[in-house]
């Protein structure tokens, strides 16, 4: 039985959770796990998909939006191009002629840039503080992990150039050093699974020494596949600091094997003590 009396907020441990005293390396997802710069991105991608999907007889726009949402979130955490390949496949199966998935990706990024331009500009000018656009109390966790000497890695399905730029704007690149990875134009040359395999290989550590934090299927699944410990961050991105879990994320991340689910990092210190068996 896990003692949660030291926690000020909500935390949920899966039945099979057990502390790991040998954790040495920690992997973070970026968007939704640490960064809120791209908060609301599904509100850009879902309408674009619904707009491009050929309608079926009797199907409403809301039906197409629901299908798009499920497709998009199932691939959340993978490179954006995979969501665009899924869109092309859906168009084709409905009798349409899809465009190039890379062109769809560029159009999506154009629309998203319009949505987040004010946030990026706010960080550049100092109108917004970096912590305003970090998941609540992220920095407390990063500081503590660094203090303990654990090696930190960042891996995102967002293009690597954007991840590095936004990590710098949020003043968190210093926690990760050279270990910031993102999607590449040659998408087959990057995946979170490949990053995890590289961490284990280059550091000659077993999967059990890896701890990951993420709000998407992929990093949770990939971590569990190698025997690592996976913490799902079911962040309520639109209401940062609310302490509430996004139930959609919570249910699906538990479903793919998350060991622990948290809404944010308000309980970073007691959480770490639980995870590391202290």
CATH number of the domain that residue 197 is part of? 3.40.50.1000
The answer to whether residue 4 is domain-embedded is: no
Does residue 7 fall inside a structural domain?
A: no
Gap between the Cα atoms of 85 and 88, Å rounded: 5
Answer yes or no: do 194 and 212 share one domain: yes
**97 shares a domain with 173:** no
- The residue range of the domain holding 121 is 42-125
How far, in Å, CA of 135 to CA of 240, rounded?
A: 6
* In-domain check, residue 5: no
Same-domain status, 174 and 87: no
Q: Same domain for 202 and 244?
A: yes
Q: 113 and 197 share a domain?
A: no
Same domain, 145 and 106: no
In a shared domain, residues 155 and 100? no
* Same structural domain, 139 and 106: no
Give the 3-state secondary structure of 188-214: HHCCHHHHHHHHHHHHCCCHHHEEEEE
Retrieve residue 109's tokens: 């990024």
Is 206 contained in some domain? Answer: yes
Is residue 6 a part of any domain in this protein?
Answer: no
Separation between Cα atoms, residue 64 and residue 56, nearest integer Å: 9
Give the separation between CA 17 and CA 7, rounded to whole angstroms: 17
Q: Which of 103, 125, 147 is at the close of a domain?
A: 125
Angle subtended by helix axes 42-52 and 61-74, to nearest 10 = 120
Domains contained in the chain, number: 2
In terms of domains, do 104 and 140 share one? no
User: Last residue of a domain, which of 73, 106, 125?
Assistant: 125
- Examine the domain organization and report whether 25 and 139 are in the same domain: yes
- Shared-domain flag, residues 263 and 185: yes
Task: Report yes or no on 66 lying in a domain.
Answer: yes
Domain membership of residue 25 (yes or no) is yes
Residues 164-193, buried b or exposed e (16+ Cβ, 10 A)? bebbebbebbebbeebbbbbeeebeebbbb
Q: What's the token pair of residue 234?
A: 């079911």
- Answer with the one of 64, 98, 125 that is the final residue of a domain: 125
Q: What is the pLDDT of residue 179?
A: 97
pLDDT digits (tens), the chain, 278 positions: 687 888 999 999 999 999 999 999 999 999 999 999 999 999 999 999 999 999 999 999 999 999 999 999 989 888 999 999 999 999 999 999 999 999 999 999 999 999 999 999 999 999 999 999 999 999 999 999 999 999 999 999 999 999 999 999 999 999 999 999 998 888 888 999 999 999 999 999 999 999 999 998 899 999 999 999 999 999 999 999 999 999 999 999 999 999 999 999 999 999 999 999 98
Answer yes or no: do 180 and 240 share one domain: yes
Answer whether residue 3 is part of any domain. no
């Amino acid at each position: 039985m896990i003692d949660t009396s030291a926690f000020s907020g909500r935390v949920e441990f899966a039945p099979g959770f057990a502390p790991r005293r040998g954790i040495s390396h920690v992997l973070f997802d970026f968007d939704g796990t640490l960064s809120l710069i791209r908060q609301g991105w599904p509100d850009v991608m879902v309408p674009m998909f619904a707009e491009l999907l050929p309608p079926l007889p009797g199907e409403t726009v809301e039906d197409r939006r629901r299908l798009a949402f499920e497709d998009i979130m199932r691939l959340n955490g993978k490179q954006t191009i995979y969501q665009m390949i899924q869109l092309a496949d859906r168009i084709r199966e409905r009798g349409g002629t899809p465009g190039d998935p890379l062109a769809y990706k560029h159009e999506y990024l154009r629309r998203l840039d319009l949505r987040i331009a004010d946030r990026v500009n706010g960080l550049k000018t100092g109108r917004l503080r970096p912590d305003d656009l970090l998941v609540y109390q992220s920095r407390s966790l990063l500081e503590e992990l660094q203090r303990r000497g654990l090696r930190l890695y960042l891996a995102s399905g967002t293009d690597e150039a954007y991840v590095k730029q936004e990590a710098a704007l949020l003043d968190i690149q210093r926690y990760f050093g050279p270990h910031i990875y993102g999607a590449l134009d040659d998408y087959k040359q990057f995946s979170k699974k490949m990053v995890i395999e590289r961490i284990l290989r280059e550091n000659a550590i077993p999967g059990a020494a890896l701890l990951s934090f993420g709000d998407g299927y992929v990093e949770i699944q990939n971590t569990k596949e190698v025997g690592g410990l996976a913490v799902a961050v079911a962040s309520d991105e639109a209401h940062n600091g609310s302490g509430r879990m996004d139930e959609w994320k919570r249910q699906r991340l538990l479903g793919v094997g998350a060991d622990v689910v948290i809404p944010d990092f308000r309980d970073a210190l007691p959480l770490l003590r639980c995870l590391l068996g202290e």
